[in-house]
Chain A
Amino acid sequence: DIQMTQSPSSLSASVGDRVTITCRASQAISNYLAWYQKKPGKVPKVLIYATSTLQSGVPSRFSGSGSGTDFTLTISGLQPEDVGTYYCQGYNRAPPGTFGQGTKVDIK
C-alpha cells in the first residue's frame, strides 16, 4: 500500500506569506496526488487533484506541483480563512493510498 509522509507537521505564517507543504509517497504514483483542507467542525474539502489541477471554486492562490514521489502544495499569499489542516493522498491504483499525517497551518 502507498504510504504518504508530509512535512512540516505544523507551521505558523503571516497573512500574505507564501506557504509550502511537502508530501512524499512511498512509491512512485505518477501525478495521482490530491490535497485536502480540513477545518474543525467542517467536512474535508478537496483543493487539488492530479497533482496540480485546482478543484472548481478553489482560490488560485493554491497550487500544486511534483511527480513521482515528491509533491508540493503552495499557498501564495496566506489568508486568514486558510487556517486549517492540510492532507495529501496518493490514489494511482487500488487501493487508494493513505492520507499524509497532516500539516496544521496557523496565522502568526
Chain B
Amino acid sequence: EVQLVESGGGLIQPGGSLRLSCAASDFTVSGNYMSWVRQAPGKGLEWVSAIYREGWTYYADSVKGRFTISRESSNNTLYLQMNSLRAEDTALYYCRGVAAPPVDYWGQGTLVTVSS
C-alpha cells in the first residue's frame, strides 16, 4: 500500500527556516511527479512547489526564492526547504505524488505555524 508520510512541521518564528520531509513507501519519489500543496487555516488549497520525474522544479510566486524542493533517491524522500518564513506561510502542508495512469496519492499533512 502506498504511503506518503510528512514530517518536519512545527512552530517557527518569522524569518526562520524549516525543512519538511515526505517519506514514501511503495511509491518511487524520483520516478514520478511530486508536489507540495498547502492549506492555510480557513483558506483554499494552494499549490506550492513541484518536481517532475525529469528533475524540473517549479514554485508558486508566493514562495519563489525562499523555498526549495528536492528529492533523495537513496531514502525515497521528498523535501521542502523553507527559508525566510512569514506568517502567511502558516498552513497544513501536504505532500502529493502522481503516478500513471494517473493515480493520486496524498500524505496526511504536516502543520507549519509561523508566529512570534
Contact = CB atoms under 8 A, between A and B. Distances in A.
A1 B49 CA distance: 13
Contacts, number: 46
Given A95-B58, A96-B50, A98-B60, A49 B44 contact: no
Interface in B50-64: 50, 52, 56, 58-61
A38 B96 CA distance: 14
A11 to B, nearest CB: 15
Interface string B89-115: 000001000000010101111000000
A55 interface: yes
B45 A96 contact: no
B81 to A, nearest CB: 18
B52 to A, nearest CB: 6
Interface of B: 35, 37, 39, 44-47, 50, 52, 56, 58-61, 94, 102, 104, 106-109
B53 to A, nearest CB: 11
A55 B47 contact: no
Interface string A18-47: 000000000000000000101000011110
B102 A102 contact: no
A98 B56 contact: no
Contacts of A99: 37, 44-47
A85 B44 contact: yes
The B interface, classified by DSSP as helix, strand, loop or mixed, is: strand
Interface of A: 1, 36, 38, 43-46, 49, 55, 85, 87, 89, 94-102
B94 A43 contact: yes
A43 B35 CA distance: 14
A98 B52 contact: no
B94 to A, nearest CB: 7
A87 B45 contact: yes
Q: Which 8 A-B pairs have the closest CB atoms?
A: A95-B58, A102-B44, A43-B106, A46-B104, A99-B45, A87-B45, A101-B44, A94-B56
Nearest to A87: B45
A30 B26 CA distance: 32
